[in-house]
Amino acid sequence: MSWPIKLRALSFLVTLGVTVTESVMGSIPIALALWYFDLAGIRTILIALGSLAAAIALSISIYSHVRPARLPNSMVQGGAT
C-alpha cells in the first residue's frame, strides 16, 4: 500500500528541511574559515556554500523518497514482531 500524495509531499518537505538545515550548519565553519583567512568574499561564500548545501539536501531527500521501501520478511508474511 502506498502513502497518499499529500503525506508523501509532506514527508519530502520535512526531509528536505532537515537536510538543508544540517547542510547549512555543517558549512558554517567552512564559511567562517574562508572569510577569516580572506580566501573569499561574503557573496562568493554564500553562493558557493548555498549551492552546495542545496545540492546535498536535494540528493539526500530525493534518494530517500524514490527508492523502494524494504520490508522485513516477517511483515510481508503477516507476522508481527
Structural domain containing residue 48:
9-66
Kindly state whether residue 2 falls inside one of the protein's structural domains.
no
- Residue 17 covered by a domain: yes
pLDDT higher than 80, residue 70: no
Say if residue 81's pLDDT is above 60: no
- The total domain count for the chain is 1
Q: Is 78 contained in some domain?
A: no
For the chain, count helices (H), then strands (E): 3, 0
User: Which pLDDT band, with edges at 50, 70 and 90, does 78 fall under?
Assistant: low
Report how far residue 57's alpha carbon sits from residue 17's, in angstroms, rounded to the nearest whole number. 8
Which tens digit of pLDDT belongs to each residue from 37-48? 999 999 999 999
With 80 as the cut, is the pLDDT of residue 18 above it?
Answer: yes
First to last CA, the chain: 20
Q: Is residue 77 part of a domain?
A: no
- CA gap 66, 2 in Å, rounded: 12
**Domain annotation covers residue 74:** no
Is 61 a member of any domain? yes
How much is the pTM?
A: 0.71
C-alpha cell at 23: 547542510
Could you give the CA distance from residue 40 to residue 27 in angstroms, rounded to a whole number? Answer: 14
